[in-house]
Amino acid sequence: MEKTIICRCEEVSLEDIENTAKKHNCSAREVKLRTRAGMGYCGGRTCRPAVDAVLADVTGEKAGHQVPLKVQPPVRPVTLSVLGGTHHDN
């Protein structure tokens, strides 16, 4: 069967995530760090629920009350000049 991509930005497949979760019996965060799923351009907006679903299935890690794969700013793709402060006009 053809690979099913889960994280489009970093091209991480369902198989990669399942195998990583099984092999290391790890948390969503560890899966992210090991595979880069959720670390791409979209900031995990597309694959975050999917990575969660795999983890719930493989390791039994239930979605807790905190948002999975901690959300970090910037939550939108922005240029470095915006982040760097040359852009501010208050």
Partner 1 sequence: MLDVVIIGAGPAGLSAAIACRESNLDVLVIDEFPKPGGRLLGQLHQEPTGEWWNGIKETEALLNKANALNTKIKCGVSCHHIEKTDDGYIIHTNTALIKTKKLLIATGAAETAAPIPGWTLPGVMSIGAAQVMTNVHRVQVGKRGIVVGVNVLSAAIARELQIAGIDLHSMALPVKNTVTKDHAHPGKVMDGLVRIAHLAPSAFLRFGSKFAQSAKVREMAVKLYPSGGVKMWGMPIHIRKAITKINGTNQVESVTMSNVTPEGDIIPGTEEIIKVDFVCIAGGLYPLSELASVAGCPFRHIEELGGHVPVHNERMETPLEGLYVAGNITGIESAKVARAQGIVAGYTIAGDVAKAESAMQDVKAIREAASIQFHPQIKAGRAKIHRAFQEYV
User: Which positions lie near partner 1, rule CB under 8 A?
Assistant: 1-6, 8, 14, 18, 43, 45-47, 49-50, 53-54, 57-58, 63-68, 70-76, 78-79, 82, 87-90
Q: Are strands 12-13 and 5-7 parallel, antiparallel or unpaired?
A: antiparallel
Output 33 or 82, the one with its CB closest to partner 1.
Answer: 82
Candidates 23, 11, 22; CA nearest to 47 is 11
Query: Please, which residue, 23 or 89, has the CB nearer to partner 1?
Result: 89
Q: How far is the CB of 33 from partner 1 (least distance, A)?
A: 19
Whether residue 74 is preceded by a cis peptide bond, meaning omega within 30 degrees of 0, is yes
